[in-house]
Amino acid sequence: QVQLVESGGGLVQAGGSLRLSCAASGGTFSSRAMGWFRQAPGKEREFVAAMSGGIRYYADSVKGRFTISRDNAKNTVYLQMNSLKPEDTAVYYCATEATSVKPPVPIIRLSRYEYWGQGTQVTVSS
């Protein structure tokens, strides 16, 4: 049973930093894409960042401020968030694919991912 557990969220002032972690268990993940999404109140869940095959992908809104990384030995993916803005406030979710076989779905799409964590709240005050 695949499980993803996020941590590291919290309250931070605008301009501050946070690092989110997502620990995966119940499988092997080194060949699977890992992604971060977020959902603000009243809005749809949106793509933030992903990493697959050593390639990193970012939403335009976070490019240059957020960095995704992974430690395959620990089955953990990270999201370093710098220069945070109030509009970054959301619940942040990590996600991974069902297997290492890549489905014909862009990596930024929710439907690319089979497993999701429970989410961690990030609140940025102005």
Which tens digits make up the pLDDT trace of 62-110?
A: 999 999 999 999 999 999 999 999 999 999 999 999 887 878 899 999 9
Q: What is the pLDDT of residue 114?
A: 95
Q: What is the pLDDT of residue 100?
A: 79
Mean pLDDT of the chain: 96
Q: How confident is the model at residue 124 (pLDDT cuts 50, 70, 90)?
A: very high
Look at the chain and count its residues: 126
Contact 85, 64 (CB under 8 A): no
State percent of the chain over pLDDT 90. 90
Q: What is the pLDDT of residue 6?
A: 97
Q: What is the pLDDT of residue 104?
A: 87
